[in-house]
Amino acid sequence: MPRLRHLKLLKEIIIVLVAISIIAGGVYLVLNYFAPGTIQQETVKSTTTPKKKQQIKLVAVGDSLTQGVGDDTKQGGYVGLIKTKLTEQQHVKTQTKNYGIAGETSTQINRRVQQNTDLQQDLKRADIITLSVGGNDVMAVLKQEMLDIDEAALSTARQKYTRHLTQLLQNVRHYNAQAPIFVFSIYNPFYVYFPKMTKMQTVVTDWNKASKAVIRQQHNSYFVDVSEQLSKGEKLTTAKHKAKKGKQKNALIFTTDNFHPNHSGYQVMADDLYRQLMQQKNKWLLDRKSS
């Protein structure tokens, strides 16, 4: 009898254990079905979350805006300012390479990308690529047309420029398939001096629209619009207007040439670029190789 009791008890224990196993398995399957990855979430997070890079490289290519012409502090324009901003606010060691040459058009910049081996090697190692282009292309057309702006000639020049910009972006991308490319807009430095020259502003606006459309078609490329701020400048207070004896000046433009940004203007460019960089930080700040 005792033996039968033991067998019966053992049988009941086995039945209970089997039932618990079935219930546990069912719970696991339900969780896995309705919330896949929940059970292993912490493990996955700890092994796949990329770490922040210790050092980044920014390569700047372009015209006088990249070179930093007009920065009276001689700090390298927006390139020097964005380096400081990234180092201080993101706590990441930032290396920059400046390939800006004043006066160059899109064709000339593109030729450098195709022929300059140092530039090509730096592009290959870049985490971020910036580009300022288009201003000299516009000025070349306006100098030919002078005050009589011919719409047909401008349209032809704009279409030609979009082809050049497309080629330039494709050639840059050839040397670096991953790094985000940030392209600055052009602006109208004469806006506050000649606000009634609406044709000039229309030219700049249409040019920027065309550039933006090209950039949207390129992989991992972004438009940094500084036109509104640099064209109109900082709003002057009444006291400042009186001090300038009624003459309206753009506080963001270099007074020596009344064309290029001054240090404050380049700060605007750096700040706008930084905002765009932060929106895309997962594409340049995270070290995916170590994950």
Mean pLDDT, the chain, rounded, equals 85
Phi/psi at 64 (nearest 5 deg)? -65, -25
Q: Is the Cβ–Cβ distance between 197 and 148 less than 8 Å?
A: no
Where does the pLDDT of residue 46 fall: very low under 50, low under 70, confident under 90, or very high at 90 and above?
very low
Residue 26 resides in a domain: yes
Point out the least confidently predicted range of 48-62, 77-91, 134-148.
134-148
pLDDT of res. 142 = 83
Asked if pLDDT for residue 7 goes beyond 70, the answer is no
Same domain, 60 and 90: yes
Give a yes or no: residue 120 inside a domain: yes
CA 242 to chain centre: 39
- For residues 103 and 133, membership in a common domain is answered with yes
- 199 with 233, same domain: the answer is yes
Look at residue 239 and tell me whether its pLDDT is greater than 50. no
Residues 39 and 108 grouped into a single domain = no
Does 62 have pLDDT greater than 50?
yes
243 located within any domain: yes
The rounded distance, in Å, linking the Cα atoms of 180 and 273 is 12
Q: By the 8 A CB rule, do 115 and 168 touch?
A: no
Q: 184 by DSSP, 3-state: which?
A: strand
Span 152-180, mean pLDDT? 96
Q: How confident is the model at residue 111 (pLDDT cuts 50, 70, 90)?
A: very high
CATH of the domain at 179: 3.40.50.1110
pLDDT of amino acid 149: 74
**Between 202 and 43, the higher pLDDT residue:** 202
Are the beta carbons of 169 and 215 closer than 8 angstroms?
yes
Average of pLDDT values for 41-65?
80
Q: What per-residue confidence (pLDDT) applies to 230? A: 96
Could you tell me if 25 and 97 lie in one domain?
A: no
Query: Is there a domain that residue 291 lies in?
Result: no
Task: Work out the percent of the chain whose per-residue pLDDT is above 90.
Answer: 65
Residue 68 is predicted with a pLDDT of 98
Tell me the per-residue pLDDT of 245-273, one tens digit each, with 9 for 90 and over: 445 589 999 999 999 999 999 999 999 99
- Does residue 290 sit within a domain? no
The pLDDT assigned to 199 comes to 85
Q: Are residues 135 and 239 in the same domain?
A: yes
Classify 256 as helix, strand or coil.
coil
Residue 199 is assigned to a structural domain of this protein: yes
Top-confidence range, 14-18, 176-180, 192-196: 176-180
Please indicate, yes or no, whether residues 134 and 223 belong to a single structural domain of this protein: yes
- Asked whether residue 273 is assigned to any structural domain, the reply reads yes
Model confidence at 44, in pLDDT bands (50, 70, 90)?
Answer: very low
| Residues 110 and 241 both lie in one domain | yes
42 & 90 share domain: no
Q: Do 61 and 157 fall within a single domain? A: yes
**Cβ(208)–Cβ(185) below 8 Å:** yes
The mean pLDDT value for 9-20 works out to 57
Around 45, how many Cα atoms within 13 Å sit in the side-chain half-sphere?
6
The confidence score (pLDDT) of residue 49 equals: 72
Rounded to two decimals, what is the model's pTM?
0.80
- Between 182 and 247, the higher pLDDT residue: 182
Angle at 199 (CA atoms; ends 142, 108), nearest 5 degrees: 30
Residue 27 and residue 66 share a domain: no
Task: Tell me whether residue 160 is in a domain.
Answer: yes
Residue tagged 């005050």 (tokens):
147
- List the domain range (segments joined by +) for residue 143: 53-285
pLDDT of 48: 64
Task: Answer yes or no: is pLDDT of 192 > 90.
Answer: no
Q: b or e along 45-77 (b: 16 or more beta carbons within 10 Å of the residue's beta carbon)?
A: eeeeeeeebeebbbbbbbbbbbbbbbbeeebbb
Shared-domain flag, residues 32 and 148: no
Say how many domains are in the chain. 2
Statement: residue 25 has pLDDT above 60: no
pLDDT, position 194: 80
